[in-house]
Amino acid sequence: MGEWVEQVERRAAIVLDQMAAVRALALKFGDDPFEMTASYRSMLRDLYDEDMPLARLLDRADLVAWFEGKAVQGGAPPVDTVKYACETLRQQIQQITKAMMGLTAETRPHWSAGLELGLSGLAKGSLIMGCLLYTSPSPRD
Q: Which tens digits make up the pLDDT trace of 65-83?
A: 888 877 777 667 788 888 8
Q: What is the mean pLDDT of the chain?
A: 82
3-state secondary structure of 77: coil
Sign of CA dihedral 88, 92, 97, 99: positive
Does position 138 have pLDDT exceeding 50, yes or no? Answer: no
Q: Outline where 29-110 has alpha helix (H).
A: 33-36, 38-46, 52-60, 79-101
Rounded to two decimals, the pTM is 0.71
Q: What are phi and psi of 105, to 5 degrees?
A: -60, -25
Local confidence band at 27 (pLDDT 50, 70, 90 cut-offs): very high
* Distance, CA of 94 to CA of 112 (rounded, Å): 11
Tell me the average pLDDT across 50-74. Answer: 83
Local confidence band at 22 (pLDDT 50, 70, 90 cut-offs): very high
Q: CB neighbours of 68 closer than 8 A, spacing ≥ 6?
A: 126, 127
Of 54 and 95, more confident: 54
